[in-house]
Amino acid sequence: MSLDDKTWAELREIAARYPEARSGLLPMLHLVQSVEGRITPEGIEACAEVLGISAAEVNGVATFYTMYKRKPVGDYHVGVCTNTLCAVMGGDLIFERLKDHLDVGNDETTEDGKITLEHVECNAACDYAPVMMVNWEFMDNQTPESAVQVVDDLRAGREVHSTRGPRLCTWREAERVMAGFPDDRADEGPAAGPASLAGLAIAREKGWTAPEGESK
């Protein structure tokens, strides 16, 4: 197997976080991706061995969720939301522009290995539509022009920040965070922006409160 001793130790560390070890499978798969750049047969076998389950069970989970990849991902995974609201607000135009600009199709990677482009399901950020994500960091209120600028800057090695603050890291670095190993950037940027808090502001202005539950 190509996984080193450190990775095996961290897989066991993740499994030990949970009362039921198999509950750690999702972050374990993210750890595999942080090391291998994708889900590999070796990674599947390692997770199965650590958790005491079959490789078929691990494979079933790894093929169910679209966040787990079977072919190498570029340094930056660029996901453009094309669900209804984002599409109406310009998501489809952004996706088409990026396909033309990068000369790739959906779920394909540029020849330099820098950018993997994918149209993704709702990012739960409709108040900032159209939304693009780079390695799971939000890029809000995008246009075809701003999206092209983002990918050009990333390919050129320039530092790029999410519209919400954090510096964009590489795909493998992001996957390690998804595995539960902090990168000390959690406080870079707000947890919720003004658009997300608009309803709360109106409620406070008008003195609205949620109804109290009935006592039993």
Domain that holds residue 28: 5-64
pLDDT at 168 over 80: yes
Which residue has tokens 């020849």? 111
Q: pLDDT category, 211, cuts 50, 70, 90?
A: confident
Q: Which of 22-36, 64-78, 90-104, 178-192 has the lowest mean pLDDT?
A: 178-192
* Average pLDDT of the residues in 155-175: 94
Residue 133 region by backbone torsions, left for phi larger than 0, else alpha for psi between -120 and 50, else beta = beta
CATH number at residue 43: 1.10.10
Relative orientation angle of helices 41-51 and 55-64, to the nearest 10 degrees: 120
Question: 43, 64, 85 — which closes off a domain?
Answer: 64
For residues 134 and 105, state if they share a domain: yes
For residues 25 and 101, state if they share a domain: no
Indicate the number of domains in the chain.
2
* Sheet bearing 132-134, strands edge to edge: 108-109, 115-120, 76-81, 132-134, 137-139
pLDDT at 1 over 60: no
How confident is the model over 26-39, as pLDDT tens digits?
999 999 999 999 99
Residue 205 within any structural domain of the chain: no
* Average pLDDT of the residues in 1-18: 93
For residues 92 and 162, state if they share a domain: yes
